[in-house]
Amino acid sequence: MSESLASLLETIGPKTAYRSLADLLPDAAVFAVDGERNIVHWSDGAERVLGFTREEALGRLCLSSIRCRTCTLGCGLARHREIEALPLDHYRADERWIPTKKYAKAFFDEAGGFLGGIEVLIATGAPREEESARPDRAPLPPDVEEFHGLVARSDAMKQAFQTIRNVGETDATVLVRGESGSGKELVARAIHEESHRAAGPFVAVNCAALTPSLLESELFGHVRGAFTGAVKDRKGLFEQANGGTLFLDEVAELPLEMQSKLLRVLEERVVTPVGASRERPVDVRVVAATHRALEREVEAGRFREDLMYRLRVVPIVVPPLRERPGDVDVLLRFFLRRFNETGPRRVESIAPETMRALLGHRWPGNVRELRNALEYAFAVGRGEELLRTELPPEIGAPSPTVAPIPAGASDDEGGERERLREALQLEGGRVGDAAKRLGMSRATFWRKRRRHGL
């Protein structure tokens, strides 16, 4: 502290300085507690944000006026010592709830005894009426939208929701583009639920999981005797989805021969089962998905250009989770509620260091990785608080490094293909960042990636 500041504080007094600073934050509740957690200061902003007057709050246990409603996000100043930007919901005096972010600092004596603390709650939204008494049933904040199992606060996802609503009114073919684990199948299901086909079947198939020899029979069906083992007629997925929606996941993995047959089905709306001589009409809405850029697959000769345009009538892009960090805490709350319902463990709070690790992770596996991380924590832990040690080891850990490829190294010498693949995985598919990690230009990375078929 400078001598000028020390002189100023000595002149006006630390109490006046603290109170003045607290009252300069009109949209924040600033308060202080003593070692017994009784409130010893209650700012004007605290009255406005939480609804309790200074007379009602001073001298009383903090829990009587600071009533955390979003139990799934926790607190515990004396235990955690410092809290920064922790999302919390609180009950006001009028029984409405208000979303906040909490900042707090605890103070201790030389023996480690808790002396008290200063806390700041910054309102991040307007008060709302209570909709449920159960903490795990707490309504989502007003800026969050839940849509057919998808939950988002980000504008990019909300825009995707609106596109789904609009395209649901038509029978247009849709191509969903997004990284693995980003929720492409949920988007496809939402399109189905928003359409006039909602009462019909929703049939999904992962094109990458089937061998080329099985694909034709799976998609179009077969008749008895068409091949060894075909002991009876079998409807393909197109016929099974008749009157509804067929979701073709990882459509870029289809072999070229199957692509030409799929194109004909999309254009003619008929299928010919393996071994059959007559066509069968189908009334199916097709939604396809891929994590690959089809334009590059076309350039590489691995995907038909005419099929790309036939599938991509309406493109919908699902952004990766790292590009919508505001959705992470919302998804945490959403999944916590689900896991609490299924038991046997029930989590009532998340330790601040755990929350920081979750919010700071880049989530290369997207929403699926987030859900799996919480499921892991529920499985290995047993207490009511979610601890940092219960998260998978990679959550909050320093980013792994990949050694740069030596200049002039051959494929064998540098293990080039594996290094490219690993760098892409670590950077969540971002080519520029992967190239930087390997110490090469973006153009060089693209050229090597294409040569190795990555």
Identify the pLDDT of residue 411: 40
Tell me which of 130 and 195 has the higher pLDDT: 195
**Region 364-373: what's the mean pLDDT?**
93
* pLDDT above 70 coverage of the chain, percent: 82
**Region 418-428: what's the mean pLDDT?**
72
Which band of pLDDT confidence, cut at 50, 70 and 90, is reported for residue 95? low
CATH fold of 13-136 reads Beta-Lactamase (3.30.450)
Query: Would you say residue 220 has pLDDT above 80?
Result: yes
Query: Would you say residue 325 has pLDDT above 70?
Result: yes
Identify the pLDDT of residue 79: 65
Query: Would you say residue 256 has pLDDT above 80?
Result: yes
Query: Would you say residue 102 has pLDDT above 80?
Result: yes
pLDDT digits (tens, 9 = 90+) for 373-397: 999 999 999 888 889 999 998 886 5
Which band of pLDDT confidence, cut at 50, 70 and 90, is reported for residue 343? confident
Whole-number average pLDDT of the chain: 81
Identify the pLDDT of residue 11: 74
* pLDDT above 90 coverage of the chain, percent: 33
Identify the pLDDT of residue 8: 62
- Residue 223: what are its φ and ψ, rounded to 5°? -105, 165
Tell me which of 285 and 83 has the higher pLDDT: 285
CATH of 155-317, one of 2.102.10.10, 3.40.50.300, 3.40.50.850, 3.30.70.3040: 3.40.50.300
Query: Would you say residue 324 has pLDDT above 90?
Result: no
Query: Would you say residue 371 has pLDDT above 70?
Result: yes
Identify the pLDDT of residue 402: 46
**Region 272-298: what's the mean pLDDT?**
91
CA distances from 283 to 240, 266, 405 (A): 10, 10, 52
Tell me which of 446 and 223 has the higher pLDDT: 223
Domain boundaries, the chain: 13-136, 155-317, 321-390, 411-451
**Region 357-384: what's the mean pLDDT?**
91
Which band of pLDDT confidence, cut at 50, 70 and 90, is reported for residue 67? low
Tell me which of 421 and 33 has the higher pLDDT: 33
Whether the Cβ atoms of residue 90 and residue 117 lie closer than 8 Å to each other: no
Tell me which of 101 and 453 has the higher pLDDT: 101
Identify the pLDDT of residue 374: 94
Q: Do domains 13-136 and 155-317 have the same CATH topology?
A: no
Q: Of the ranges 45-59, 144-158, 405-419, which is most confident?
A: 144-158
Domain 321-390, CATH: 1.10.8.60
**Region 12-18: what's the mean pLDDT?**
71
Which band of pLDDT confidence, cut at 50, 70 and 90, is reported for residue 39? confident
